[in-house]
Amino acid sequence: MLASVWPANAILLGLLVRHPALSTPTAWTCAALAYLLADLLTGSGLGAAVALNAANLIGVGVGYILFMRLSTEHRHLRRPLAVLYMFSIAVMAGGSASIVGALAVVHYFGEPASRALVAWLMTELVNYVVILPVFLAMPGMVDRERIVPAVGTPPAAGVNPWPIVSLVASCAAALLIGGPGAIAFPVPSLLWCALTYRLFAVAVLMAIVCMLAQVAVASGALHLGGDRLAEATLISTRLGITLLALGPLTVASIDAARRTLIARLSHAVDYDFLTQCLARAAFMVRASASIEAENRKTPIFAMMLDIDRFKVINDTYGHAAGDRVLQAVARTVRMTLRSDDLFGRFGGEEFAILLVRQAPANADRVAERVLSAIRALGVELENGETLSVTASIGIAERLPAGSGLEAMLSQADRALYVAKAEGRDCIRTFADGTPAADTTVARLDAARQR
């Protein structure tokens, strides 16, 4: 009953494809010894164990070589044709193993060559198609999108449980009703899962359903008609269950490619290409949403940050050096803020920050921490020189009954230019009436000219 579920080869191939650094002579030797020891401990003769496990490792080796010829996106099933490529590789890997394995079975067990070849190929193909997608689609640090996470990113929506409920119900209906068509009962639910969940979750669900279906057919729990199933019928049913899984898996793979494309397009629109901060439009949208979410119950602080004498840096060291300064400052500020603070680039060397749920003293400390981190920053230029950088910050507070985002940013910008007019590398807070003084206005105009 359990002979149809033997995942060792698929697990080994999946591990090697996901972690190519494991493919070393030492690792292959250890795998071969482990295979051999497992057979010897279960009573196999040495000759048969060597021959049969040589076939196993040959199949894994062929599969690994072919997978390594694909791009990373195809190996991780994130392209429309990726599932087709995976199936083709599974056929070639299983075929190469079955040729060697069939010869060993004929020699040591006296089975007919055709029967041994078909049985081995079907077992390999079924297990590769069912098990491999779980490893190929498994999320990991190496394969995640290299997108800098934004502070203030909206939380993900809750998981929809109904596709899984539908899947369980369809599997139960297959067991209760039976018949040749019962193996296809879960397909609509699996398609629903493929359009709802992530690729890895769909691969796990597919593996569970396929393995349980094969065991149910082999044990008689899933009655397909007739008192006894011929061996050819059993093999055909197992293969049919596996091939049915390719449809939902392909849908999930295409959906994963679509999600990746949408994420990249959204990132290109919402984030500044150079600094990976929120672009101005995205900052305004998310900041407005944050202010509305607070429902005017807590103070909110807007900050405008400007790199001091940035034009001099560009004129003296070139725009490439200016870009390095922008990237270094943005990275430093982003590491200083909390995950729910917002940080965006408004253009040139000017950045905006929105702090929520902060006391006035805490907001001042955040601003000082940001300036201290920038002062400690040494930007290495291409010529080997290290450039020191400072910045100025203007702060505006929106009290519970205060103004909106546009007014806050305008106030913070006026306070910023007061800071620049009064010597730079400092923090100034907007206060009603202060920017209206004639002397301050004159200093603002002078600062803007500089």
Q: Which residue has the tokens 């800098």?
A: 148
Task: Tell which wins on pLDDT, 164 or 260.
Answer: 164
Question: What percent of the chain has pLDDT above 90?
Answer: 57
Range scoring the smallest mean pLDDT among 171-185, 330-344, 425-439: 425-439
- DSSP structural state of residue 434: G
Q: What are phi and psi of 380, to 5 degrees?
A: -85, 125
Evaluate whether 85 touches 145 at the Cβ level (below 8 Å).
no
Q: Where in the chain is the domain with CATH 3.30.70.270?
A: 280-449
**CA nearest neighbour of 261 among 424, 405, 85, 78:** 78
pLDDT of residue 84 exceeding 50: yes
pLDDT tens, residue by residue, 388-425:
999 999 999 876 555 688 989 999 999 999 999 999 99
Span 434-443, average pLDDT:
46
Q: Which residue has the tokens 């680039």?
A: 345
pLDDT of residue 174 exceeding 50: yes
Span 147-161, average pLDDT:
54
Which pTM value belongs to this model?
0.72
pLDDT of residue 444 exceeding 60: no
- Which CATH architecture is the domain 280-449 placed in? 2-Layer Sandwich (3.30)
Lookup: tokens for 227: 């008192």
Q: How many Cβ atoms sit within 10 Å of the Cβ of residue 80? A: 13
Task: Tell which wins on pLDDT, 136 or 263.
Answer: 136
Range scoring the smallest mean pLDDT among 90-94, 140-144, 411-415: 140-144
Triad 368, 370, 375: Cα angle to 5°: 90
pLDDT of residue 265 exceeding 50: yes
Question: Quick one: pLDDT at residue 142?
Answer: 40
Question: Quick one: pLDDT at residue 36?
Answer: 93
pLDDT tens, residue by residue, 279-299:
999 999 999 988 887 766 678
- DSSP structural state of residue 308: T
pLDDT of residue 135 exceeding 90: yes
Mean of pLDDT over the chain: 86
Question: Quick one: pLDDT at residue 233?
Answer: 73
Which one of 36-45, 280-289, 431-440 scores highest in mean pLDDT?
A: 280-289
Lookup: tokens for 331: 């990275």
Question: Quick one: pLDDT at residue 351?
Answer: 96
